[in-house]
Structure formats: C-alpha cells, structure tokens
Amino acid sequence: MDVSDLLTSAGINIAICVMLLSLYSILRKQPGNACVYFTRRLVSEPVRGTGDISCFERFVPSTGWIAKAWQATDDEILAVGGVDAVAFMRIVVFSIRVFIIAAVICLFIVLPVNYYGQDMQHKEIHSESLEVFTIGNVKEDSKWLWVHCLALYLISCSACVLLYSDYKSITKMRLAHITGSPPNPSHFTVLVRGVPWFPDNSYSNSVEQFFSTYYPESYLSHQMVYGSCTVDKLMKDAERMYRMLKSIDPRFLDRSLPYCIPGGAAHPFMVLNLRADSVSSSTSMDRLQSSQRRKECPAAFVFFRTRYAALVAAQVLQSSNPMLWVTELAPEPHDVYWSNLSIPYKQVWLRKITTLIASVVFMFLFLLPVTFVQGLTQLEHLDQLSRRVPFLKGILKQEFIHRVVTGYLPSVILMLFLYAVPPTMMLFSAMEGNISRSQRKRSACIKVLYFTIWNVFFVNVLSGSIIRQLTVFSSFKDAPTQLARAVPTQATFFTTYVLSSGWASLSCEIMQPFPLICNFFRKFILRTKVEPSSCALTFPHHTEIPRLLLFVHIGFTCSIMAPLILPFLLVFFFLAFLVYRNQILNVYLRK
C-alpha cells in the first residue's frame, strides 16, 4: 500500500464522518427525534420546550453540540453518569495526553530516521510505499537504533506517570462517592446460594435456622428467591399492554377493526382476563403454602443489622463444602439478574467452563473472515483472485478501484464482522450464570476485549493464510523475530482500520441509527406515541471499552514502528472525547 491508497481511504472516511455529523446536527433539532437524541434529559428532567428555533435553522448543520460537550466539566459528568462515566472519560483523556507526547517524539524524531534508514532513491511522497515510513526501512545494525529505544522509554515513562495520576484521582473520587452516598439496602444484604435441601424442612426454614445460629446478634431477616410463575407472567403482560394501549391514538380505537389491529373487537385484555380468572379459580389459600414451597429456589437474600456484619458474612467461608452456603454481597435491586438466581450453584462452574470453551471456539471460527480480509491487503492475493475470476481482472486494474479494495474495503469488511461479537459475548455471559446485570456486562466486556485483541491485532499480524499461520514458528524462540518482522508490514492495515472502524463507528454512535429507525417506524407506521422511557439505553461499556483499549494497544505497538498512525489516532480520540461526552449528557441513562 502506498501513500495515495492511504489518502484515498482517509478521504472516504472524512467525507462519511462529515456527512454523518452534519446529518446528526440537523436531526437532533427536529422535535420528533427528541426521544432518540435527548432520552436521558426527557426521562430524568422536566419536559422543556424546544426553544425558539426558526424553520431555516432547523435544517442547517451547526456545531453547537460540540461546544456544549467540550465545555462540560467532570462534576457534570459525575452528576449525570456517575463514577463509571468519569472513569471511562479518563481513559479517553489519558489516551489523548499520552499520544500527543508520542506524536511529538515520533513524528519529529523517529519518522525521519525511518524514512532515511536505507540508501535508496526516494520517489514523490504520494507514490511512496508506506513501508518506507516504518522501522522496517531501517537497515540492520544501524547506528540510529538508539533513537527508537529512547523514544520507547520516553513514551513508556510518560504513560506510567499519567496512569499514576489518573488512578490516584479516580481512587479519591470513588472513595468520596462511597462515603458520601446514602445507605443503600444492598449494603446490608448478602446473597446466599447453594442452600442444602432437607426433606423435612423448607429452604426458608433452613436459611433462618442457619443464620440465627451462627449470626444471632446481627441477623435480621431473609427473603427467599422464587421461580417464575403464571401470575408473574400475567402481571408483566398486563403492564406491557397498558403501556401500549396508553400510547395508541384514540382515533384508532374502533370496535369494527379486526382482532389483529389495535382497538379491534376481540381485545387482548379479554384473553388476559380469562387467563387471570382461570388462575384465580384454580388457586386457593390452603394450597398457597405448598405451592410456594415447591417454587422456592436454593437462594435467598439475607438482611443484617450493620454493614460490617454483612461484609463479614459475605467474605467468610460458611461451610467445609465450597458448593454449599455460598455467600456474597448482594447487588442492587435493579441490578439483579433474576433469571440466573434459580440456577443451582453446582451448575455455575460447569457453565463457566462451557462458555469459556464456546468463546475460544468462536474466536478461532473468526479466523476465516480475518484471513480473507488480510488477503485483500496483499497484491499477490489480488492477482490470484483476478486470475481465478476473470471478469474482476479489468475492474481491479482501475486505479481508484484498486485503491479502494486495498486501502478501504478490508477494514470495512472486518468491522462488519465484528458487529456480531458483542451480542454473542453478551449471550455467553448471560449463560454463565452471573447474578447481576453489571457482572454480565463486565464479563462480556472482558470477553470482547480478549476477542478483539486476538482477532484484530495478533491474527492480522500473523495471517496471510491459515497454513502460513501454522508454520510461521519453527520454535518458540523464533516468535519474537517473526513478530518483529510481521508487525511493521501490517502497520499500514492498522492505519486504515483506525480510519474505518474508529472514525466511522463514532459517527454511527452519535447518529444512533437503530433507535432512529425504530422511532420512525413507531411514529409513522404503527402510529403510536413514543414514551422516552421505552427508548432509554444504558451506556454500552461492553462494546466501547474494548474498542478504546484496542486502539490504545495498536497505538502503543505501532507508534515507534509506524509513526504515521499517530495523527489518525489522535483524531479518533479527540472525536471520541466529544461524542461520548455528548452521549453521556444527553442519551444514556445511569443504572
């Protein structure tokens, strides 16, 4: 890949980003899109007017949102998004600071050394190969290698100092948040699982006897966990139908309409009412106790009188059998993942091992699209493709098409495949048996991070073909040498990946295409009133944190070897700073 291919990819991505950001600045001014772009404000703050915006101003792009996102302080982010939002934004700020230092060092010191590392006749800049600007262009035994080592140590020391400063401030903020928060019921509650079964006793009585015996002074009460039943389902159906019918325009409530249309004669509430009557007729008070006992799960929430007693009970091993009487601090009520509480604790370890194996298998299955994508960046593979598919030979000979295929298309294909990863990892984390939604999201975040680091970085570095990957190392001693030769040659791909996956993904994040389409469908097709609470979203930590850390990893790896990647990385992190601040302030709710 040469400089002209990189400039073509950069031009395409800049045009897409400018178009999407301009379109966003117009769409956010439309009153009908307020539930998409101002969800958090509509849910948590009183409804306000849209302001005096003329018809002309509503359809002209503006940069007002950029100024508001830039001027927001950490205190405002803390009040709106909590400590998690501030910590996330500190990752972005840390990346900006450390890569500004890296750009100053590498672009003005390391890049000239790489460019003049060989005794060769240079072409014009736009015709030069990008490998000329990498460390691969420095001849062996060069006396200028100390420049790269000095730059590496300067960047590493700067990163350590900045990390220490950020960790210190975040730790103080977290401690102030814990000490300043009002008492929460979850602070006094312990979740116990693996309650043993006794034929002559219920789970509830077993829990009460156990904690009354071993914690007589601090034990307060307990609440058993019950399995879902028909009544719970009826209540959820009734609440869902009430919200739906409340939002329907009264003009459409016509009794002459068929059953399948809202407002038809055979209203769904009739079916619901019949089901409720049948349940109530078949349920009596004398059968309630035995029915509850059958639906008891071997898990319970145990309440203590003090936070210290709850913490001690959560940390102490309650039984010689580690599968019985397992205790941990209970999550907040809104954070509990209720469906997983009924899972027997003995199955949790089996589920964790199974999901780990499934994640590894999924990572290796992903080698196929990654290898295909990497093949598009190599000229010899394109020549083989054109020989096997003759009608592509004339198309690939066109200069612009060739630049798009080698400089833009590979990273776009890889980005499209990666969109399937977070939902899959979230499903694996739900099957794992996590008891809270935050644990599930954290587990998915770790899985996505390992997946992206392995498949986007290491596999792209080592790939050419699967056979080549299997034979690239003759022994483990050759691994550093092979990596040292492979990484500089693949740095050009990572540069285009930052352009396509980084810039474009941030533009799509601020556009919110899926909620926007859903809002249009509900308003103009279903003709229902859209409630802001139904559109509320929480911050997608399991997708955004791995993306940020992947680009940080790519930046640290390639900054010395291919300094041209640093300007594109800095643009990505500056854009991320503005986009994520805007989304935290206006869109995402805190849970």
Which residues is 538 bridged to in the sheet?
589
Q: Regarding beta strands 296-304 and 326-329, do their DSSP bridges make them parallel or antiparallel, or are they unpaired?
A: unpaired
Gap between the Cα atoms of 437 and 445, Å rounded? 12
Parse the chain into domains and list their residue ranges.
3-179+350-589, 185-331
Q: Which helix (H) or strand (E) holds 189?
A: strand 189-193
Token code pair at residue 543: 């997708």
> Given CA atoms 555, 556, 558, 564 in this order, what sign does their dihedral have?
positive
Q: Report pTM.
A: 0.77
C-alpha 432/C-alpha 440 separation (Å) is 8
Cα separation, 206 vs 251, whole angstroms: 57
Distance CA 234, CA 237 (A): 5
Question: Is the CA virtual torsion 47, 52, 57, 62 positive or negative?
Answer: negative
Residue 181 DSSP class: S
Nearest alpha-carbon partner for 228 in 338, 337, 331? 338
Return per-residue pLDDT of the chain as tens, 591 residues: 667 777 777 888 888 889 999 999 999 888 888 888 888 888 877 555 445 566 767 888 888 899 999 999 888 999 888 889 999 999 999 999 999 999 999 999 988 888 787 766 666 666 677 778 788 778 777 888 888 899 999 999 999 999 999 999 999 998 988 888 888 888 899 999 989 988 888 889 999 999 999 999 999 999 998 876 555 566 666 766 766 666 555 554 444 444 344 444 444 444 444 444 444 444 444 444 555 555 778 899 999 999 999 999 999 998 888 889 999 999 988 888 888 888 888 888 899 999 999 998 888 887 777 666 655 555 444 455 555 555 455 555 566 565 565 555 666 677 777 788 889 999 999 999 899 998 999 999 999 999 888 888 877 776 643 334 444 555 667 767 766 676 777 777 788 888 877 888 898 889 888 888 888 888 878 777 766 666 678 888 889 999 999 999 999 988 888 888 899 999 999 999 999 999 999 999 887
* DSSP-derived 3-state class of residue 53: coil
Question: Between the CA atoms of 586, 587, 590 and 591, what dihedral angle is there, to the nearest 10 degrees?
Answer: 160
* H/E element, 588: strand 588-589
Q: Judging by DSSP bridges, how do beta strands 296-304 and 219-226 pair with one another?
A: antiparallel
Cβ proximity of 573 and 96 under 8 Å: yes
Residue 319: helix, strand or coil by DSSP?
coil
